[in-house]
Structure 1
Amino acid sequence: MAFPQHMNRTEQRIVGAIIRKALKVGYLVSVYDGEEWALVKSTNYEAITAEVAATDATTLRFRLSGGDSVGTVFLVHGNDEDVVCDHSDNEAMTFLVGGIA
């Protein structure tokens, strides 16, 4: 895994599972670090995880291969098993975060 060393294992496990689920269903993943879009429309797990937790909060945006937005997951780092602070209220995002804790 390419998560930053300062990110705790619980958060790595949860965020890693969300990203893997998203990639498995074919979503493109963009990473907003609170200051800029550090990575846009990627399918590379290592590149995505490397950009997570660069700041206190991370937004993951998921898109279909055609570019349509599916939704977002907002992460607040330092909250351990509560790292997922919010997400788009739709079936796709509920699927991604469901059952992960």
Structure 2
Amino acid sequence: MSYPAHMNPTEAKIINQLITTILDAGHLIRVFDGEEYASDWTGDRAEIQKQTAATDYTVFQVADAAGRERIGTITLIHGNGTDVISDWSWKQSIEGSEALMDALVKPAGKCADKLNGYRS
């Protein structure tokens, strides 16, 4: 993983699962670092990881494979450990986007539960 050296390893595992799920589903991510867009729409894992955790929070915007339509947003609050995924939302005008965003976040939530010692 190529996250910044200061990043919490527990958060890195959870966010890595999140990135994997999003990219494996064929979507792109644009990283907002709390101050500016730190990346364009990309499927480059190393670029996404590099731009994550530059500030106290990171926002992943999720788009279709062409980067033409934003599907939803995931907010990460760094320093919260297994609760790093703070919130997510979806573009209500896209049918099925709520279920899609829930499905994209769920594996990272299961990863967090496992790190907390919960059985699924």
TM range (shorter): over 0.9
Q: 2:43 matched to 1:35? A: no
Q: Secondary structure at the match of 1:73?
A: strand
Aligned to 1:79: 80
Aligned to 1:94: 102
TM-score by length of 2: 0.81
Deviation at 1:100, TM superposition (A): 3.2
Aligned to 2:64: 64
Give the aligned CA root-mean-square deviation in angstroms: 1.0
TM-score by length of 1: 0.95
Q: Secondary structure at the match of 1:17?
A: helix
Larger helix fraction of residues: 2
Deviation at 1:69, TM superposition (A): 1.0
Instruction: Calculate percent identity across the aligned residue pairs.
Output: 38
Q: Distance in 1 between matches of 2:9 and 2:104?
A: 19
Which digits, 9 at most, give the CA deviation of each residue in 1:36-87, with x for residues without a partner? 0000111100110000000000000010023111111000000000000100
Larger strand fraction of residues: 1
The code of the aligned residue for 1:83 comes to: V
Give the length in aligned residue pairs: 101
Aligned to 2:47: 47
Answer with 1 or 2: which has the greater Rg.
2
